[in-house]
Structure 1
Amino acid sequence: MQGEGECGKGLSYFVDEAKRKLSARFTPSAGKSGLDLGGLKRCLAESPFKTWYVNEFALADLIRKYHAASESFELEIGEARDGEFRIEISPDLMGVHLLLFSPQGGKPVAKAEVLAMLAQRGVVSGIIDENIETAIQCGSAEGIDIAKGRLPVHGEDGTLNLLAPQASERKPSLSEDGIANFRELGGVATVSPGAPLMRRSPPTPGEPGVNVLGHIVPPKAGKAAMFAPRLDGAAFAADDPDLLTAAIAGQPVLVNNGVQVDPVMTVENVDISSGNIHFEGTVVIRRDIQAGMVIEATGDIQVGGTVEAATLIAGGNVRVAGGVIGRHEGQKGAANAISSVRCGGSFHARFVQNARIEVDDSIYIDEGAMQSELLATRQIIVGKDDSQKGQLIGGKATATLLVKAQTLGAPTHVKTLVEVGVNPHLHAELLGIGKELENKALGRENVEKLLAFLKSNPQKGSPDVIAKAQKTHANLLEETTQLLAKQEELMRHISLAENARVIANRKVHIGARIQIGSRVCEVSEDLESVAYALRSDEIARDLLPRQGQAKAVLK
């Protein structure tokens, strides 16, 4: 086959059909044109051979020979190349990708060729015919999916579902910014023996998948939810090992991986006639606590009236409907009459004056705190956002994440110390958990060695010994899981502490001293609606959005 056009005088093109080669033929004629590579390429692009593969080195050789030749010659410059393709199977065997290259003067790739290659490579599942056809029609493709496996659906973990909705929560969960999600602790809910507390739902096995080779891909089964090994005041139903019920009458308390029931003691007042109270459970005082009295409970303490110069120690939450008042210096009997509250949960009162409050969670005070020492692991909030009350005046307030009040300090410029972002207790507790985890790991290793020995030497151990060892191993695993969860929570708290804030919703007065981490800011002017935080290792002051003013960095 000879080309219809000529590129340069005396040049023509033809194809060797048997070899599928494209050649140029030069026949001497009168005069030669000024042939160059660009012109030659343009000429070929407009010829019947425009789709053929052309060797550029051969074209350069053709131009050289053309200008030097005085006799006829032929030179091979290209060839017909069929379309090509390649399939790639992903390492996880869940996908097949097609790379398709257009033909250059030859035959295009046919769908049957692709299907044959898939069969040769063992691909039998999830073939996407329409994608293959689309690629063939386009003539080329780069990495198009032509087969996909079906992923397994992994099983869901078992859950522990609360059936006692009024259960008191000792350790509330945090929101994304580290703020505890409750304020009102409510009254004391009680349950009777046999009342359902929590149900365990089993994990699901999941659904298997299949890869492109047709092999089954097993799912990961969900993990079984485990109740805590010790839940005081609770027991499993006799006919249902997944149902936790109350074993005694008392207050249901939500704890990690379960619900326990605390006994409840109720008294009218606490004074000299009632004596001090030391109780394993929750204590409810309907009215007031008189000066000098001590109430100690492993559960919650709820007071319907006022606490005057008394001591409260609770393993759970403390809620005082009225206020907590101590006697300031100069008052009669002040030396031995400070109000002191220590609790493992959160504290909530209407007001606090001349008192020391220390909690493992958060402090909420509705109206105001004066000349008191407040220490909270998480946050201290004085006043409600929609109220003008909420003054934090004098004393010292220390929290890890947040101290927020409607007003910080007073117009009289009384010294008021506020400190956030520092909690050495968290780091100490984290170190303690690390040591506990090491001990649990050592204990598991020893039990596993014992179980392996008994398996190899069954005559050395009775069924009771084996069962006891297996139970010990299961308990160690559960305790390790709980410790890891607590470790993760503590690490999150430490991370959140880096974003600690101090907020005065309405005003901060001269005399307030703000400390964030190791940085200190003495308030030198009265300001409205301001927030303090660390930025670039300096305390930054932001006027709150409703003020519509820009932020400034304090030096």
Structure 2
Amino acid sequence: MFKLAHNGNVLLDVAQLNPPNAAFIIEALERSPYADCEIDRDSIDAFFKSEFPEKQLVVAKKVDAQLTIELSDDKMTATAHLVTAKGGAMINLEKAKKAIINAGVSRGYKQAYLEKILQKQLELPAGSNAKGIIAQGRPPQDGQPAKLVAHVVTMRERLKQPKLREDGSVDMRDFGKLASVAPGTLLVSKQPPTPGKEGFTVVGDSIEAKEGDDFELTAGEGTEISASNPLELVASIAGCPSDIQNGMRVDDVFTIKDVDVRSGHVDFNGSVIVTHTVGPGMKVKAKGDITVMGSVESGELISGGHIDVKQAVIGHLDHQNNDQGLTCCLVAQGDIHIAHGQYSYLEANNVYIAKQSNHCTIKATQLVQIGADDNPRGKLIGGEVLDTQMLIAGEIGSESGAKMIVRLARHGVELTQETDECLKALSKTSAQLNTLQQTIEKADLLKDPEKKKQLMAKIGATQMHYCQEAEALEKKMSDMESQLNELLENSKLVANQALNPGVEIHIFDRVFKTTRSYPPCTAALVEGKIEIEFKTS
């Protein structure tokens, strides 16, 4: 009934068969050895509509399998698209490989992936579509940043390890022998950054890897870069090592039992350890760290490093100054760690209060945290947060709705004001440049060549000065804009248990006042408005 022509067409001798309709032909074809071939419905329909039909009718044709290779826009992936044969020839491995080469794929190819796609020809019906990745590029692997490796225990690390008593309890006042080093002791070494691993696309293009970030090893006071190895920092004096950014310093350490009227105020160039308490009205000032193993009551601690108070920091309103200000004050260039705060002024880079803050005034460059490190659940009650980037606590405010103020990203207002000043200065500089341009045009009319040359040189030097000034102002404005954007993106209030009524939240120049209690939530600046978002467990 059917026969195959040399060009792959399937023919039917209609004069011999005299089919009654198209459905008869299609049904017969589906029962024939050519059932997988692509039916030519247009040819069949045309035959029954023609007044002078042909004696032989093309009813189907063999169609070979098709394989196309598609590359992703970034050239990191090559995908094979397969259409299985309709009675025609399947695609073998060699032909498929040629298609891959013709598509430009030269790296990241895996034959196992290709064989898996070609196997579909034996599994899927004729004319089916299948696809799969047959080559993948490799993204670059950025290098690891340079890092410091400490070779000594700093005072701060030592104070995290209290001594165990014989009965197994912990003596929170005894931290063992003071961490100290001798001159020449290796303090810290720097591991250089790694270069990273180059990536590639499937078409063979290389993708450069970013080298790890680097930094200069910093020799603080009492230290020096090793003469034999520029990647090592050694002690130049005997004393106590303390961490600084990208290095260490070595301080002389002053240890005292109590700071009270018998000892007098303490003002020391190194670090200070108070093994008991700081009494009312007493002052401790140190260029290094200040550590108080007991409590601070209405005292003043000023540190060029960190401040650690193992127990409470307690003050009250300054009755001698008409209740203006607080009698307890802690100010650190580094971080402040205390157990509990009450009616105290705290200022540092980061302020950590382990349990609770009552009516304190707190100012921090980056973070104020009330509670334990992992999931802070401490209480922040009353007082004021003058400025910080992020505030995290368990409960903020009081159920009674007593007013308290939290200010985040206040530094952004200063950045905005400074940007405005830069804009004014840039406007003046632009005006000067316009004036100079007019002067150049007038000078160009001078007939005396020597005078013209001298005037042009003078004007050119002035013009260069103002151009450099304008460039510096534009860079400063760009830097401040980046700082402001980063500040606003990272500014957030987090209440892990409750945000109570009466809390006035300032973020940059926006204000939100809570009038009810909120469950666990966060407050952040979203599209110029402070939004409260509830936390999901």
How does the TM-score come out when normalised to structure 2? Answer: 0.65
- Shift of residue 242 of structure 1? 1.3
Deviation readout 1:219-239 (Å, 9 max, x if unpaired): 637336323555333222222
In the alignment, the residues of structure 2 paired with residue 424 and residue 53 of structure 1 have an alpha-carbon distance, to the nearest angstrom, of 73
Q: Which residue of 2 aligns with 1:63?
A: 48
Partners of 2:330 and 2:277 in 1: how far apart? 15
CA distance in 1, matches of 2:117, 2:519: 62
Q: Percent identity?
A: 22
Amino acid across the alignment from 2:41 = E
Distance 1:150 1:495 in 2: 32
Tell whether the 8 Å contact from 1:98 to 1:141 is kept in structure 2 after alignment.
no
Query: Residue 144 of structure 1: CA displacement?
Result: 3.0
Equivalent residue letter for 1:358: E
Q: Secondary structure at the match of 2:33?
A: coil
3-state SS of paired residue (2:44): helix
> Secondary structure of the residue that 2:91 maps to in structure 1?
coil
Q: Is 2:220 the counterpart of 1:231?
A: yes
- Give the Å deviation of 1:253: 2.8
The answer to whether the 8 A contact 1:151-1:217 is kept is: no
- Of residues 228, 243, 247 in structure 1, which corresponds to 2:236? 247
CA–CA separation in structure 1 for the residues paired with 2:357 and 2:102 = 80
Are residues 432 and 141 of structure 1, via their aligned partners in 2, closer, same or farther at CA, if it must alter by over 3 Å?
A: farther
Out of 81, 84, 88, the residue aligned to residue 106 of structure 1 is: 88
**Match of 1:43?**
28
**SS state at 1:164 partner:** coil
Matched, 1:195 2:185: yes
1:296 and 2:289 matched? no
Give the match for residue 159 of structure 1: 147
Aligned residue number for residue 54 of structure 1: 39
1:22 and 2:10 aligned = yes
| SS in structure 2 of the partner of residue 361 of structure 1 | strand
Is structure 2 residue 342 aligned with structure 1 residue 360? no
Give the distance between the partners of 2:326 and 2:343, measured in 1 at CA: 10
Show CA shifts across 1:243-274 (max 9, x none).
Answer: 12222333433233222334433344445665
Paired with 1:544 and 1:76, the residues of 2 have a C-alpha distance of 67
Determine whether 1:495 maps to 2:497: no
Q: Give me the CA root mean square deviation.
A: 5.1
1:144 corresponds to:
132
Q: What is residue 425 of structure 1 aligned with on the other side? A: 411
Relative distance call for 1:429 and 1:287 in structure 2 (3 A) is farther
| Residue of structure 1 in register with 2:271 after alignment | 282
**What residue is the counterpart of 1:440 in the other structure?**
none
Corresponding letter in the other structure for 2:514:
C
Partner AA of 1:260 in structure 2? R
Per-residue CA deviation, residues 308-344 of structure 1 (Å, 9 max, x unaligned), is 4433222332233454444546579988982222223
Match of 1:7 in 2: none
Task: Quickly say closer, same or farther: Cα 1:423–1:298, change in 2 above 3 A.
Answer: farther
| Mapped pair 1:520 → 2:513 | yes
SS in structure 2 of the partner of residue 50 of structure 1 = coil
Distance in 1 separating the partners of 2:536 and 2:73: 53
For residues 195 and 208 of structure 2, what CA distance do their matches in structure 1 show?
A: 7
Is the contact between residue 201 and residue 207 of structure 2 (CA under 8 Å) also seen in structure 1? no
Residue matched to 1:471: none
How far the C-alpha of 1:210 sits from its partner, in A, is: 7.3
Structure 2: distance between partners of 1:321 and 1:404:
19
Which amino acid in the other structure matches residue 422 of structure 1? Answer: L
Q: Give the TM-score normalised by the residue count of structure 1.
A: 0.63
- Tell me the distance in 1 between the aligned counterparts of 2:376 and 2:11: 94
Aligned residue in 1 for 2:247: 258
Measured in 1, the distance between the counterparts of 2:120 and 2:184 equals: 72
Letter in 1 for 2:85: P
Q: Which runs of 5+ in 2 are unaligned?
A: 122-127, 158-171, 423-474
Taking the aligned partners of 2:341 and 2:70, their CA distance within structure 1 comes to 71
